[in-house]
C-alpha cells in the first residue's frame, strides 16, 4: 500500500511541475510597424503558429515557440507588399519563416517577459519580449510588444540597407487568445 501511495504522490508532484499547454485560437493578431519616407506604416502577418507551454506558478518549465510565415506579410500598400517577399527584404525563397524560441520566462512588475532567440533571414539574435497574460479558467489572452532593429537581421539589402528611406526601427505587437489543450 505504501508503494501505491508513494507512486500516486510522485505522479501528483510530477504533474504539478509540468507547465500547462495552450492552443492558439483563431482571431489573434501579429502586427508590425515602421516608417518609410517619413511616414509611419503598419502591417500584419496572417499566418503564424505558436506552441506554448506555460504555467504562471511554474515559469521555470515555460516554453514558447512561435513560427511566422513571412509570405503572409501585408501592409495594404501594393508596392511595399510586393517588395517584402523579395531578396532585399525577407527573401522568402531562402528564408520562408521567422522563428522565436524562448529560453526563459519571468514575472515582471508589468506582467511577464520571455527572453529567447529570434531567427529572421538566417540571423539569430536574443530578444526580450515583455507581455501581459490574463487567464480565465481554460482561456487566456496574451498581449505584448517588442522593438527590433531590422538591420540586425539583414532585412533591407542593397539600396535599402541604410535608413534613408526606410527606418531601422520596427515594432512588433501581438494579441493572442489561447485555450488549454491538456
Q: What is the DSSP letter of 16?
A: H
> Which residues in 63-163 belong to E strands, given as ranges?
63-69, 73-74, 97-107, 112-120, 123-136, 139-149
Contact assessment for residue 137 and residue 147, using Cβ atoms and an 8 Å cutoff: no
Q: What is the pLDDT of residue 19?
A: 73
**Three-class secondary structure of residue 80 per DSSP:** helix
Rounded Cα distance between 4 and 101, Å, is 39
Q: How far apart, in whole angstroms, are the C-alpha atoms of residue 34 and residue 41?
A: 6
Q: What is the pLDDT of residues 85-142, one digit of tens each?
A: 999 999 999 999 999 999 999 999 999 999 999 999 999 999 999 999 999 999 999 9
> Cα–Cα distances in Å, from 124 out to 7, 42, 46, 65, 182?
43, 24, 23, 14, 31
Mean pLDDT on 146-164: 96
Question: Please, are residues 176 and 52 in contact by the beta-carbon 8 Å criterion?
Answer: no
- So what's the pLDDT on residue 18? 54
Task: Region of 154 please: left (phi>0), alpha (psi -120 to 50) or beta.
Answer: left
Full-model pTM: 0.87
For range 77-88, the mean pLDDT: 96
Amino acid at each position: 500500500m505504501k508503494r501505491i501511495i508513494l507512486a500516486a504522490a510522485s505522479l501528483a508532484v510530477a504533474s504539478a511541475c509540468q507547465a500547462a499547454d495552450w492552443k492558439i485560437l483563431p482571431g489573434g493578431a501579429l502586427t508590425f510597424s515602421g516608417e518609410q519616407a517619413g511616414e509611419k506604416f503598419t502591417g500584419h502577418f496572417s499566418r503564424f503558429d505558436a506552441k506554448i507551454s506555460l504555467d504562471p506558478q511554474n515559469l521555470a518549465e515555460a516554453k514558447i515557440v512561435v513560427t511566422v510565415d513571412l509570405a503572409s506579410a501585408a501592409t495594404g500598400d501594393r508596392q511595399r507588399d510586393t517588395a517584402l517577399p523579395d531578396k532585399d527584404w525577407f527573401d522568402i525563397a531562402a528564408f520562408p519563416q521567422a522563428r522565436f524560441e524562448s529560453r526563459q520566462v519571468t514575472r515582471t512588475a508589468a506582467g511577464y517577459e520571455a527572453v529567447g532567440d529570434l531567427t529572421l533571414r538566417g540571423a539569430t539574435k536574443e530578444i526580450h519580449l515583455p507581455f501581459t497574460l490574463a487567464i480565465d479558467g481554460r482561456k487566456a489572452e496574451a498581449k505584448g510588444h517588442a522593438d527590433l532593429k531590422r538591420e540586425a537581421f539583414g532585412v533591407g539589402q542593397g539600396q535599402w540597407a541604410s535608413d534613408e528611406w526606410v527606418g531601422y526601427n520596427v515594432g512588433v505587437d501581438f494579441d493572442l487568445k489561447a485555450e488549454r489543450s491538456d
